[in-house]
Amino acid sequence: MRFRKLLFNFELNLKVKCYKGRLVIQQQMPRVTYYSFQFRGAQLTETEKFITRFKDHALYGQDFNMIMAVINEMGRNRGANVDYFRGERYGEALPPPYKSGNLRLYCGRYSGRIVILCNGGVKTSRLPENSPDCRPHFELMNALMKNINKRVWERTLSEKDGILTGDLNFEIGDCYD
Amino acid sequence: MTKLFEQAIHDIPQDVRERVSLNFDIIDQISAILQRKGMTQRDLANLMGKRESEISKWMRGTHNFTLSTISAIQKALGEKIIDTPLNFSKAKK
């Protein structure tokens, strides 16, 4: 009976959106600390999955290098200036992704010193919601940033000296145990 | 944490690094002029007859600025955003 309930909940979690994981430091650079989301039980962070998939890619390798070069330039020399992240629709909840060509890496700017990196994919339509390769990563980033903003508001998450302090574990969406 | 991220950064080709660095020099110069003039990206867009979204795209770091675009921006702002060391040393004399 308990096994059946576990199986039911597992299948339900697959159908509804449930994200269980935590923010981890991906790389600390002189001007920006980059965090990434790591699903519970996963070996790689979402950004590492993106790197594994697109580094040295026959079609998108060049775009991948451009995106990493932007991350590097901001991290080493410029900081996460708000002007670099201003959305096409000003004031939108989610900043624009890092992009080159049709390749997208979804991110969220926490502050001038902290950026949350996620995963991404190849955009094949005007809206990311309509691009199968982008949609799950866009949705995760969206849900994650909403929860981060909520925690900042509730003061359970803050920044000290360019590092996030507080609860970095997340269970987002309709999660069933 | 794996070394994947570090390796990916290490493996960025030098020409790509320089191109992105130049992009950001241009972006930062545009931002500095806008700030000094009390203008927004929207104001620049209106001056150039473009949508604000197009200006936002320039400011991401991966845009491939053409000389034509740089000239148009300079004309809209009324001042240079890039120059050469030769011009700079001539101006100093």
- In order of start, what are the domains of chain B with their CATH numbers? 14-92 (1.10.260.40)
CA-to-CA distance for A38 and A47, rounded, in angstroms? Answer: 9
User: How crowded is residue A140: how many other Cβ atoms within 10 Å of its Cβ?
Assistant: 21
User: What pLDDT, on the 0 to 100 scale, is given for residue A89?
Assistant: 45
pLDDT confidence tier of residue A33, bands split at 50, 70 and 90: very high
Q: Which residue has tokens 């980033």?
A: A141
Q: Does residue A176 sit within a domain? A: no
Say if A9 falls within a structural domain: no
- Best residue in B26, B56, B58, B63 for a mutation probing chain A (most A CBs within 10 Å): B56
Q: Is the pLDDT of residue A129 over 50?
A: yes
Measured between beta carbons, the chain A residues lying within 8 angstroms of B43 are none
pLDDT beyond 90 at A90: no
Q: Which whole number is the average pLDDT over A103-129?
A: 90
Whole-number average pLDDT of chain A:
86
Q: What percent of chain B has pLDDT over 90?
A: 69
Q: CA nearest B3 in A: which residue?
A: A48
For residue A62, the enclosing domain spans: 21-170
Least confident window among A39-43, B57-61, B76-80? B57-61
pLDDT for residue A1 is more than 60: no
Report if residue A4 sits inside a domain: no
Q: Does A96 map to a domain? A: yes
| Residue of B1, B6, B29 to mutate for A, most A C-beta atoms under 10 A | B1
Nearest CA in chain A to B21: A73
Residues of B in contact with A65 (CB under 8 A): 11-13, 16
In total, chain A counts a number of residues equal to 177
> Is residue A95 one of the residues assigned to a domain?
yes
Q: Give chain A's domain count.
A: 1
Asked whether residue A6 is assigned to any structural domain, the reply reads: no
Query: What angle separates helix B67-77 from helix B14-36, to the nearest 10 degrees?
Result: 20
A111-120 as b/e: b if 16+ CB within 10 A: ebbbbbbbbb
Cβ within 8 Å, pair B60-A98: yes
Confidence of residue B83 (pLDDT cuts 50, 70, 90): confident
Q: What is the mean pLDDT of residues A43-65?
A: 95
Q: What is the Cβ-side half-sphere exposure of residue A106, based on CA atoms within 13 angstroms?
A: 26
Are B77 and A85 in contact by the 8 Å Cβ rule? The answer is no
* Confidence check: pLDDT of B78 > 90: yes
A-B C-beta contacts closer than 8 Å: 90
CA distance B23 to B10: 20
Q: CA–CA separation, B3 vs A47, rounded Å? A: 12
| Residue of chain A nearest B64, judged by CA positions | A100
pLDDT at B81 over 60: yes
Q: Does A31 fall in a domain?
A: yes
For residues B46-59, give the mean pLDDT.
89
pLDDT score of B76: 95
CA–CA dist B81, A89 (Å, integer): 26
pLDDT (average), residues A122-126: 87
Residues of B in contact with A26 (CB under 8 A): 1, 5
Q: How far is CA A96 from each of CA A37, A109, A150, A165, B57, rounded to the nearest angstrom?
A: 18, 10, 20, 25, 9
Is there a contact between A44 and B53 if contact means CB atoms under 8 Å apart? no
pLDDT at A39 over 50: yes
Distance, in Å, from the CA atom of B21 to the CA atom of B11, rounded to the nearest integer, reads 16
Question: What ipTM, to 2 d.p.?
Answer: 0.87
Could you give the CA distance from residue A1 to residue B56 in angstroms, rounded to a whole number?
56
DSSP category for residue B78 = T
**A83 or A177, higher pLDDT:** A83
